[in-house]
Structure 1
Amino acid sequence: MTNLLTEAAVNPSKHMSATGSIKFRSETVYGHAQCTRDIIPDDCQTCLKTALAELKGCCSSRQGGIIVSRNCNVRFELYKYCNASSYLLTYPNPKGSNWKIGIVALAACALVVVIVIVIGSCIACLLKERGQQRGVERSHLALLQELACPRGAWRLWNEGREMELVDPSLMDRSQTEGIVRCIHVGLLCVQEDPADRPTMSFVVLALGSDPICRNLKTQDMGQNFLLVTTSFQILLLYFSIANLLDLAYADPPYSLCSNKSNYTDNSPFQNNLETLMASLSSNASVSKIFNTSTGIDPDRVYAQYMCLNYVRNESCRTCVAAASQDIRQLCPGDKEAVVWGELCQLRYSNQRFLGHLDVSGNIPQQNPKNISNPEHLSLVVNKTLSSLIKKAAFGPSANMYATGDEPFTGSDSVFSLVQCSTDLSPNDCYTCLEVAIKNVTTCCYFSRGARIFSRSCYLRYELYAFYDGATESSQRTVTGKGKKENTSQDDKFRGQALLAMCFLIILLSMLFALVLADPLFKICSTTEYGDYDQKSPFGKNVKIVLETLTSITSSTGYNSAAIGEFPDKVTGKALCRGDVTSSACQTCLRDASQKLLKDCESKEAIIWYERCQIHYSFQNITSLDVYAGKYPDMESHNKSVSDPVHFYDNVRFLMDTLSNEAALNRSKLMFETGEIKFSRNETIYGHVQCTRDIREDECHKCLSSALIDLKGCCSSKQGGIIVSRNCNVRFELYKYYNTSSHLITFPTPQDGGNYSVYTYNGAYINSHWIFHFLSEAKKKKTKSHGKKSPNIIKGISRSHGVHNDSRRGYMAPEYAMEGIFSVKSDVFSFGVILLEIISGKRSSGFYLTEHGQTLLAYAWRLWIEGKAMEFVGPLLVERGPAEGILRCMHIGLLCVQKDPADRPTMSFVDLALASDPIALPHPQQPAFSLVKIVPAGKSSSTDPSVNQMTVSSFLPR
């Protein structure tokens, strides 16, 4: 969306509109951004940025979202919803498509072999070079011992002759002051007492800030320190320093000056401030958080410093001393200011701020290096920080400070730190850190690390151990004075090389495992339901449930299980495709269970493979009527067909027929396969399936929703699949299942287009699909499509016993009496047909029956008397659910209301027939209908409409 924003606002050829797409794992995200053309590009960019921020706030975890405003709109979806051609964007470090996985595996094998050979060669060369250099090192060491003994550098420094220590090659090319400063920092780092040595953060600060005093402890140094002497080694030191400065990624100090009120030189306020700043560093030697004040109002000065809890007192004192100088230089004359150093923060004000939460002016700083999978990092960071802020704020012994690490990838972990000022209440501390999490989520989504500087709290996370006490897998800590490592450098180097080779082998194994067992789709509901520990009672119950489902489902194809008591109760269910064997079912479920245990530690998860699916949750999921369809990306689904309209007509006919068979025929175990001839050389194969814990009407409703999603994603594709918790649908141009299937014939003009399968045999009355065909047929201008509509009408008429030499239709009363024709006229005709389908009776001549009234009047009377089921035909009563039938009758009565303004639109009718949650208004009294029979030979092939809006290719009957 950021790229589209720039394209729409900056590129004049785009007319302030841009569309694009980007691959996201197995799916494609489509988006567009657009502005009205009456605003200038800068205003367009501002509007789109605001809309994008709101889009992130509302829809960052959703599969689609849209923000509309007066001057601009933004939208994204997981399907292509616009007709404009869009260019494919590439996200940093994209993953390969599934269809290339085989090629990737072969390429990976070749690459690993080459890497192993190269690494082996490098190891041999380096070991050889080390052997050659060993003699040089011995002689060099002897020279060092002669010219510069362990105390030599210290002695030269004390005597003021430190430049005698410097290599001659540096004398001509470097500034003397910088060299002396580096010697100073180096001597600080090699002091004998480890407590006296500075931290690396202080070293970074010392190398990047103004000159510091040359105070050194006068005690002797030990023997174990590093003296850099050769030019090559000094250059390496400079490179290391540069990397450290890059790692810090922002140069402290950071300051925030109020500029609201100022003090004058030599004023009482300035004198109080100077006194207070001079005394703070002495307190930092014994306390890491300190509050104080001096003077009397209105010249009273309140001050506070806070060092990070892990730093030593000496480092805290040094940081506070530097901050007290910086704050007066950065905010001269201000009566209120705050400055943040690398290890501490310092704040003063003329107003009492102790105990008051202040999150205004928070400063975010992000690591300049980006991450390739920001979504995963964001989940891990939010999980870790959410746990830490509770520990820091409400933990009885946490002292409002908490650190933690969480595994991120195989080689990286996320290290996090949070801290509050101890003068805050627990609730204020929690609020401050919660705001900091929101700040860091907004500013630093793509970064490898970030930190938030706030007046009342501090937050930071990185992919490396930045605080004392944190350990990384690659680090080895050496403690004690003057101790040497027992392992030689050569052995250490060989160990690292062996570790690298093992890592490559493991990586190759994982790659092959991915190729052999790749799920269609997986959902780990981490953010919504929380996580569990595998060693906890809930984790043990999850493992038992998955093992149980694997063993008991293979013989039946479906089963459910539950174990434990609240809150550790786990329920689960497993389903295998109806055509797979018992052994194949068990193998698939075993792989799925292992995948869930490995990748998901959430309290609810579900995974789909081609042959099976398995689902567990902390809540009761059996008979849970929730539909949330997913579209897994497959190779065949990226290919389009040449005639998408005719192709999907066949697909929809096949899938609707299979849905009715699977839902109505319980002996089919809610599974059905079928095939339909699309052309001379092509056959469409499909299957539908529901879990057996839901009712027939719930199965049909789930399948109907899945078919709607299938049309949205795959109407022009050579294959498609939709998976959900309770049902799955799929079609392909090849036979992908093992069982035999019956051939379904698509209605053609030669056989009269009998669609009775959608009337009496379809207990769920997909009559809106019939109207879809009527609408599509009248829009087509080609000869072949122009012939479709009459035959569809013949099919409907034949199901009611009407002779084939005429076509029947219904004129709305306002058109018959006054010649008024509108879109509501078609709605009226549709309503009459729908009521005919439900009753199994024709409207024509109905008044001659024993009821003595029109079909519409009869339906209305039974409806208001509460006897609506007496209106339903016997076939539907036997095979259809009463709730669905009555809903269709309700919609039919809404369509035939006397006042056209009260009738719904066809879009509302289609939506009402497709989804139950839509509330329907109470129907008003229907109008009468006139029936007209027109001989088929006198029909006209021209369109009777001028504006193309309500044209019908069939005549009233």
Structure 2
Amino acid sequence: MNHPHISPKFIQLLTFSAFLALLPWDLAYADPPYSFCPNTSNYTDGDQFQKNLNDVLHFLTSNASASKFYDSSTGNGTDHVYGAHMCLNYITNETCRDCIATAAQDILQVCPNTREAVVWEEVCQLRYSNQNFFGQVNVTGNIGLDNQQNISQPEQFKSVVKETLNNLTTEASAFNLSAKLMYATGEAAFEDKTIYALVQCTRDLSGDGCNSCLQTAITDVLNCCYFSIGARLLSRSCYLRYELYSFYGDASKSPSSTNDQGASGGKKMRTIITLMVVSACFALVLFASFIYCLVKKKAIKRVREGISRQANTRSDAGFPRIDLASIQAATDNFSDSNKLGEGGFGPVYKGILSDGKEVAVKRLSCCSEQGSEEFTNEVLLIMRLQHKNLVKLLGFCIDGEEKLLVYEFMPNRSLDVFLFDRSRRAQMDWNKRVNIIGGIARGVLYLHEDSRLRIIHRDLKASNVLLDYDLNPKIADFGMARIFAGTEGEANTAKIAGTFGYMAPEYAMQGTYSIKSDVFSFGVLLIEIITGRRNVGFHRTKRAPSLVAFAWTLWNEGNHVLELMDPMLKEESCSPDEFLRYLHIGLLCVQEDANERPTMSSVVVMLKSDSTTTSLCQPQQPAFSVGRFTDHYETSSPGFLSVNDLSISNVGPR
């Protein structure tokens, strides 16, 4: 039998439809989409908000096959659009992609012309707003859906369900959960039945935020639906569901009638199972003709993916490819007037795409030592990383010798542009600097502990931190980053790549790098931010060849430490105690012994706490600077990528 014109999805639909016909009607929920359309201001067809919304929905749909959670934003002012999607973790990437594509269409129909909307499909949700909601818990507009069939002993059932959901909430929101998926499933016995439950939060939340959202969801669902044999709670920031059948994981465990009708119920169950088997056999026969083609197709796909990972990432993995002609038009054929700066990778250009969207285009230099390997590394890494303090990759292009990455445009360029320019630094008051430090810390923590991969950046510095419209930081440039597998803690390399002044001593001298190497770089960056001075190129006295060395000298002697404070901060309400606390944390991060440095999770806790310096452990001597020094630390117009940092790419360790 050969029916190549019959699609597998159509056969799956027939089989599932036949199965649904066998179920009692009181087991079926109302059909999705479920929606929440707040009564906010509307946009007009064709205006800038709608254009930005279409861009955000496109980005979310494009990235749905690469990540179960993704957020994106574009625009500015009243036309700024923030969006995010979440797929239930047990579904496949392909199902997630299809679900979000459906949600993107539905959200425009069920909430037309609104500046804020949420849509829930069967296994995913999609949300957008003109207000920044990333990382914020929102439980307004929660929707409870219950199965129409009631349980015989609702109070006892409610107690078991509550305990089960509370346990899963603790698991999903645990800060030290290795997978960091904000997701948990579990089972519990009730009489002769089994309760299956699932909870999940959007991954932009903290552990506390996830716990808060789910606790409210549990209260809401038990208030509205505790007497039902199954229910789900739809929230903007989290989701939960429980049933008397396995709706996740093992597909062989399918819905069944669970009413208390004795032998009649047993007969109905057997009838359902029998018809399911018949339907499954029928489906298998139809699928048989596709097996050879599908296997062959998948084999070819695996080969191509393997080649792309080793060569030039030819598979876009859900990220939109942008053709070379479009990029050339956007950058005026890479004209010097659009050039933002240049780094070890190559030049970076500002571009305006045909839809008016501003982008930054990183162009691989044909003679760069940091070549195809770094390009491949950056694409493969960034497509797996989703965090508000990491720069977003919007697309890429591979055309002959041209290899280009297209990022969201950061209007305020990089941190060094503001930090080491006297006039621009005046715009960075203490609160903005604290926000930047905290954002960088959270971004690095995500790389080390919260992402699905353990990643060491290896080149954290001021020029690799970009600033958005509101001076929020986004870590960029993952060309030097390395992935750690499992419980690995450190590695060695004979090729040292990074920037003098930010490199940890064990890495610069011995080629050993670990998460503590990034902690060292973060400490240097923190001290630079609060002092407004470069580490490399700081010549205060002969006894202090670097800013870190000078800071340690003053700290150790206990005299005149406050003279390190940026004079521009002294004119404001910057508390000396607060300055000293941040300096203390920075010195803890740059200690010479890597084992003495705190982890980034500890750093984030220290930054958030209101404790004084006396409650922190005393820092040990830092590693003083390695490498050469420039003769100045300020410039009037630095570029997009710092050209004053001395980068190295191939130094044999001692």
Instruction: Give the TM-score of the pair, scaled to structure 1.
Output: 0.26
Larger Rg: 1
Instruction: Give the TM-score of the pair, scaled to structure 2.
Output: 0.37
